[in-house]
Structure formats: C-alpha cells, structure tokens
C-alpha cells in the first residue's frame, strides 16, 4: 500500500517522524515532487483566493501526488504542547482540501492534538497503525524508530546543519552571522524561499535559523515576554529573535514571511519594534507565488554589504 506525503507546510517541521513511522509500518511512502512553478500554479487554481501562499502550495502538492498513491496523509494539526495551537489554516486544512480539490477521495486525515495528554502521540500512532491492520508490536517499534529519526533531525540543526536543504555544516569563519527567522515551510522550501538561505551563505554569511537554537534558550525568552502568542510556530520565531536580541550573537536579522499570513502581521511588528529599540539591523522579506529573483537579490546584497561594512568599522575602532 502506498501513502503520499505532500512536501509542504508541516512536512518541513515533522517529516522525519512521519516518514519513518509509515515506512516502519511497512507502507510504501511517496513524497510529492519538489516544488516547481507547475505545482504552484496547480495549487493557485484550486485554493481560495485569500489563502496564504503556503496553503495554496499545499493544494498543488496534493494534486501532484493524489493519483499515484492509495492515501494522501493530511494532518489536522491542533497542538503539540500545552501553551498554543497552530494557526487556523492547519486546523482547517483537510476541510479546505476536501472542498477545493476535485476528485480528492483518498484523503487520510489524522487529528493531532497533544495538549494535556502525555501519551497522546503514542495513542495516535497506535490508532493510525490499526487503520492499516498493523499489530501492536509493529506499531510500537515504528513509533520509537520515528522518535529516534526526529531526534536525529533536530540534532543536525543544533550542530550547524540545515538538513532540509542538504547543508551538513557551514564554515564558522565567515565574515558575518545572520539570524534568518520564519516558519519552516517558508525557510526550507527552495522554490518558495527563492533559495534565500543558500544565497546568503554564498554571500559570506553564517546563517542561524530557529531550529538551530536550543529549546532551552528559547524557553528562557518565553518567560521574559509579556504574552504567549496563540500560535506554535509564531512563538518559536519570536523567541528565537529575542534570543538573538539579548545575546547579540548575530549581526542582523532577516524575517521571511508569506504574503497574506495573518499571524505574521503581529509577529513581524513585534520583532521590528524590538530590533529598533535594541539597534539591531532588521529586514523583512515578504514572499508570494511570484518567482522574480532580481529584487530579492538586490535587497539581500545591500543588507549583507551594510552588515559587513558595519562590522569592519567596529573592528577597526577596536584595533
């Protein structure tokens, strides 16, 4: 039996767990193709017009894969902790797809709500295994292999790698360090992000993303903020930025956001105001389904050049 995983949204945050779990159940896992203009255009055709770009893209990936597999896995992500939920587009994603995509009859929906239940993830995995008539021990083994795979994935980030982009490590003696914050599905899809992270590395920047900051450091910032935001990914981004502000461990911050993202209207303004008060260079890049690169290249080059000049002046003053 084949199960399809769309290469969008939660894929970039949790795919090692999802992929390993289904593979260990004995299913043939098929991931949709890497994002292309054709996949984006197909998503735009069916998605509602006021949806954000990542949701439109998810529609395209579903259409890319639905006729090649027995089921397409579409999680209804509600929460993974006790403090926040995912934004409404994650909660309503299966409903949007069922209404928007023509002849989508093989949708496999799993509601993921881990709030206040320690063993909820384990129970969800057991339930999913029963759908495919897999026994307890097969499911038990698949669950722990998936956990191990996910821990290995997060460990690679903490070692300086960016595994979704195939970056094992970065040179540490680069001229500047840049904090690049945003949601995983914006940062790590090379087509959607216009390959922004690799552009920055090629310009001589050591890039630090939210997944490369230890959770304990982000939790320290959570206690210092006036309010916890409603959305899981938003909290991760804001806390990472505040960690950069406090530790001064980067020369500047770039926030990558999607056109039409509701939560980011708040998140971006919070970080922009804090960056201004702390005299930290800050740049917002808003991306949509357009693919023109020249404007982005110009802005990135100007920002990186400005940071290099600033650092050179600082080092000259200290010499």
CA angle 177, 180, 181 (to 5 degrees): 145
Q: Which two tokens stand for residue 296?
A: 């982005």
Measure the CA–CA gap between 73 and 65, rounded to whole angstroms: 11
Report the candidate in 243, 254, 229, 251 with the shortest Cα–Cα distance to residue 310: 251
CB atoms within 10 A of CB 43: 27
Helices 11-24 and 136-158, axial angle in degrees (round to 10): 150
Are 25 and 153 found together in one domain? yes
* Final residue in a domain of this structure, among 133, 157, 181: 157
Instruction: Determine the pLDDT at residue 222.
Output: 86
Are 73 and 145 found together in one domain? yes
Are 122 and 223 found together in one domain? no
Q: Give the Å distances, CA to CA, from 252 to 34, 179, 181, 318.
A: 30, 6, 11, 20
pLDDT in tens, 58-107: 999 999 999 999 999 999 999 888 888 998 888 999 999 999 998 898 99
Are 89 and 121 found together in one domain? yes
Query: How many domains does the chain contain in total?
Result: 2
CB atoms within 10 A of CB 278: 13
Are 189 and 280 found together in one domain? yes
* Final residue in a domain of this structure, among 123, 157, 191: 157
Confidence bin at 119 (pLDDT 50/70/90): confident
| Strands of 2-5's sheet in order across | 28-31, 2-5, 71-79, 107-113
CB atoms within 10 A of CB 71: 18
Are 171 and 302 found together in one domain? yes
Instruction: Determine the pLDDT at residue 224.
Output: 81
* Final residue in a domain of this structure, among 157, 179, 210: 157
CATH of the domain at 206: 3.40.50.11900
CB atoms within 10 A of CB 121: 16
Domain that holds residue 220: 165-318
Are 232 and 110 found together in one domain? no
CATH of the domain at 97: 3.40.50
Are 172 and 201 found together in one domain? yes
Are 140 and 233 found together in one domain? no
**Phi first, then psi: what are they for 257, rounded to 5°?**
-135, 160
* 5 beta partners: 31
Instruction: Determine the pLDDT at residue 16.
Output: 94
Are 63 and 122 found together in one domain? yes
pLDDT in tens, 267-298: 999 999 999 999 999 999 998 877 678 888 99
pTM of the model: 0.91
Are 135 and 269 found together in one domain? no
Are 140 and 103 found together in one domain? yes
């Amino acid at each position: 039996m084949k199960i399809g995983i769309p290469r969008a949204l939660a894929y970039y945050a949790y795919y090692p767990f999802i992929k390993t779990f289904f593979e260990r159940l004995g299913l043939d896992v098929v991931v949709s193709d890497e994002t292309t203009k054709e996949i984006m255009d197909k998503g735009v055709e069916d998605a509602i017009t006021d949806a954000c770009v990542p949701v439109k893209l998810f529609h395209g990936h579903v259409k890319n894969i639905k006729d090649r597999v027995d089921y397409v896995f579409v999680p209804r992500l509600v929460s993974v902790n006790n403090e926040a939920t995912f934004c409404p587009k994650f909660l309503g994603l299966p409903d949007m797809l069922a209404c928007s995509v023509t002849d989508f009859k093989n949708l496999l929906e799993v509601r993921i709500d881990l709030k206040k239940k320690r063993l909820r993830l384990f129970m969800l995995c057991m339930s999913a295994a029963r759908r495919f008539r897999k026994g307890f021990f097969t499911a038990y083994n698949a669950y722990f292999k998936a956990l191990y795979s996910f821990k290995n994935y997060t460990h690679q980030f903490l070692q300086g790698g960016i595994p979704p982009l195939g970056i094992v490590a970065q040179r540490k003696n680069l001229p500047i360090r840049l904090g690049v914050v945003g949601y995983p599905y914006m940062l790590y899809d090379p087509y959607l992000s216009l390959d922004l992270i690799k552009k920055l590395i090629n310009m001589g920047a050591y890039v630090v993303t939210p997944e490369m900051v230890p959770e304990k450091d982000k939790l320290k910032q959570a206690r210092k903020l006036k309010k916890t935001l409603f959305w899981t990914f938003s909290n991760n981004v804001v806390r990472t930025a505040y960690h950069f502000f406090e530790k001064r461990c980067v020369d500047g911050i770039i926030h990558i956001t999607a056109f039409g993202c509701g939560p980011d209207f708040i998140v971006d303004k919070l970080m922009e105001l804090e960056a201004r008060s702390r005299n930290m260079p800050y740049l917002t890049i808003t991306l949509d389904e357009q693919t023109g690169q020249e404007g982005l290249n110009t802005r990135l080059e100007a920002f990186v050049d400005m940071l290099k000049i600033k650092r050179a002046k600082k080092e000259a003053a200290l010499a």
